[in-house]
């Protein structure tokens, strides 16, 4: 009985490790467990050299925020990443995959979230912006 239990426990642990590895492999750049300094630096790099990240799957953890453009009747959603001293923050806009009702289906502003999506560049009013498309959001 003890051997069977040990064998089942070992299989369960191996299965969990394999599942975690598969999840990690879906992101080309996984910043969800990185330090605040590393995340902040990488997000800065994404903003100054967006072409280097184009099409990559990015996962990161930060704080939910949004901006409402009343003139256009649009809402922009983002994950904010503070620097190590929490004095400054960088944000990346995301477009959540699927149908979600604002504000009912969204986290509260300031709530910690993890976002995983495809890095993309878009233009609006003659300016270039970055965002994560087809994003999955968990909190």
> Based on the structure, what is the number of domains in the chain?
1
Instruction: Convert the pLDDT of each residue in 3-16 to its tens digit.
Output: 433 333 333 333 34
In a domain, 102, yes or no: yes
For residue 85, count CB atoms less than 10 angstroms from its CB and return exposed for 0-12, middle for 13-18, buried for 19 or more: exposed
pLDDT higher at 14 or 117: 117
State the pTM of this model. 0.79
In a domain, 11, yes or no: no
In a domain, 9, yes or no: no
Distance between CA atoms of residues 6 and 2, nearest Å: 6
Do strands 74-82 and 57-69 pair parallel, antiparallel, or not at all (unpaired)?
antiparallel
The residue whose two tokens read 């184009």 is 54
> DSSP 3-state assignment of 71?
coil
- Average pLDDT of the chain? 84
In a domain, 48, yes or no: yes
Q: How far is CA 108 from the centre of its chain?
A: 16
Percent over 90 (pLDDT), the chain: 67
DSSP state of 107: P
CATH number for position 90: 2.40.50.140
In a domain, 7, yes or no: no
In a domain, 13, yes or no: no
Q: For position 72, what pLDDT does the model report?
A: 94
pLDDT at 21 over 50: no
Domain that includes residue 95, residue range: 28-138
Instruction: Convert the pLDDT of each residue in 52-85 to its tens digit.
Output: 999 999 999 999 999 999 999 999 999 998 877 7
In a domain, 5, yes or no: no
């Amino acid at each position: 009985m003890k051997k069977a239990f040990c064998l089942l426990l070992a299989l369960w642990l191996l299965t969990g490790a394999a599942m975690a590895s598969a999840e990690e492999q879906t992101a080309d750049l996984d910043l969800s467990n990185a330090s605040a300094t590393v995340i902040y630096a990488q997000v800065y790099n994404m903003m100054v050299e967006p072409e280097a990240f184009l099409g990559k799957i990015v996962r990161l953890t930060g704080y939910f925020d949004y901006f409402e453009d009343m003139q256009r009747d649009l809402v922009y959603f983002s994950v904010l990443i503070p620097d190590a001293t929490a004095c400054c923050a960088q944000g990346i806009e995301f477009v959540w995959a699927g149908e979600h009702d604002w504000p009912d289906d969204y986290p509260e502003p300031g709530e910690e979230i993890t976002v995983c999506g495809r890095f993309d560049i878009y233009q609006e009013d003659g300016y270039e912006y970055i965002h994560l498309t087809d994003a999955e959001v968990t909190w």
